[in-house]
Amino acid sequence: EAQVTQNPRYLITVTGKKLTVTCSQNMNHEYMSWYRQDPGLGLRQIYYSMNVEVTDKGDVPEGYKVSRKEKRNFPLILESPSPNQTSLYFCASSRDRRETQYFGPGTRLLVL
Amino acid sequence: AQKVTQAQTEISVVEKEDVTLDCVYETRDTTYYLFWYKQPPSGELVFLIRRNSFDEQNEISGRYSWNFQKSTSSFNFTITASQVVDSAVYFCALSDSIQGAQKLVFGQGTRLTINP
């Protein structure tokens, strides 16, 4: 089944404890992206990747890192999480930058 | 700048009623893409439709239909004979090439509640 997977689905952590949210797609998509969803602010792009080893900032990159060492994986790294990073995170992928983005199931993160 | 406006924050109807969700967009690009996504209570984002700026044909898929009008910069979504399972938050989104890469700009979403 073609899909985007994210892990973990739910995470509670404390301020400053590094964490990684994994994202993987099995559709051989070149383009991958991370969004966060917050009440009143909607969905905003954090980072995107056009292909392996090619990443760039979205609208709200502060406090996040990404890497794209393999085509299928695009992990989101929070080096020192803070409470304002409490959010619902979505990973998405598409065949290329013009095509439809398909979203993972989401990761709910709570930073205490 | 790119912008998507979904003026209806919440809509509540009784089952079997028809309902239209409005979407108005802004872009300076001549080539762009419009999307609708559904977010059910379980939280995932489900793709519904993609339209490019050169294709103004309306589309129907079962009880769902979409009306794209470039003259009014609108891409409205109608559910006919609504069902309780249609209850969700619906997002309209836009992507264009102004920034050189596909970024989805989302509207704020419309929360649709279908009452039995």
Rounded Cα–Cα distance for residues A50 and B66 (Å): 30
Contact A88 B43 (CB under 8 A): yes
Q: What is the DSSP string of A46-76?
A: EEEEEETTEEEE-S--TT-EE--SSTTB--E
| Residue A22 vs residue B58, higher pLDDT | A22
Report d(CA A7, CA B83) in Å as an integer. 32
Mean pLDDT highest for which of A51-55, A66-70, B55-59, B92-96?
Answer: A66-70
Say what the pLDDT of residue B100 is: 57
Q: What is the DSSP letter of A23?
A: E
Write out pLDDT tens, residues A1-57.
Answer: 889 999 999 999 999 999 999 999 999 999 999 999 999 888 999 999 999 999 999
Residues 37 to 56 of A: which have CB under 8 A from any B CB?
A: 42-43, 45, 48, 50, 56
pLDDT at B40: 96
> pLDDT tens across B60-107, in order?
999 999 999 999 999 999 999 999 999 999 999 998 766 555 678 999
Cβ of B112: how many Cβ atoms within 10 Å?
A: 21
Beta strand A19-25 with A4-7: parallel, antiparallel or unpaired? Answer: antiparallel
pLDDT in tens, B2-49: 899 999 999 999 999 999 999 999 998 888 999 999 999 999 999 999
Chain A neighbors of B102, CB-CB under 8 A: 31, 48, 94, 97-99, 101
- pLDDT at residue A40, as a whole number: 86
A34 touches chain B (CB under 8 A): no
Q: How far is the CA of B69 from the CAs of A3, B34, B36, B74, in angstroms?
A: 32, 11, 15, 5
B9 touches chain A (CB under 8 A): no
Residues facing residue A33 across a β-bridge? A48, A92
Beta carbons of B47 and A103 less than 8 Å apart: yes
Q: What is the pLDDT of residue B58?
A: 87
B window 13-72, beta carbon within 8 A of A: 33, 35, 37, 43-47, 50
For chain B, the C-alpha Rg in angstroms (whole number) is 14
**Residue B98 confidence (pLDDT):** 63
From the list B46, B91, B102, the residue facing A94 with the nearest CB is B102
